[in-house]
Amino acid sequence: MQQSLAIRQEIGDKSGEGTTLNNIGQIFKARGDYETALRYLQQSLAIRQEIGDVAGLCATLFNMGHIHLQNEEVQEGIAKFVETYRIAHKIGYAQVLRALEQLAKDLGQDGLNFWKQLSKQFPES
């Protein structure tokens, strides 16, 4: 992945760089290294904002929110999910909306509580 990142940076492929940084972040997340994962995801987020990659922005924000939840940083997680929801809702990105719903289901009773708390932040549709 690092080699892929270096090549994308060398050729100026910002979209690919954002995706690769997101993917590297996911690898560190899977290893349980949330701090490093968030560093890579933050870099991905900055690039995706810079180039206007809205779908990528949603994916990175979702991944960041999930890490915060896994790290028991509930408020930070909810903040990322609210931001994800608002962007996805605005552009009609149903895949992210379904992912948020599935996450709540996967969390069981905690997910119900999470969804209620998250729903308080949603704009009325």
3-state SS, residue 120: coil
> What's the whole-number mean pLDDT along residues 94-113?
71
Residue 114 burial (CB count, 10 A)? 20
> What's the whole-number mean pLDDT along residues 68-79?
87
CB-CB contact of 93 with 55 (8 Å): yes
Domain over 2-119 is classified CATH 1.25.40.10: yes
Per-residue pLDDT at 29 exceeds 70: yes
CB-CB contact of 59 with 40 (8 Å): no
Q: What is the pLDDT of residue 111?
A: 65
Instruction: Parse the chain into domains and list their residue ranges.
Output: 2-119
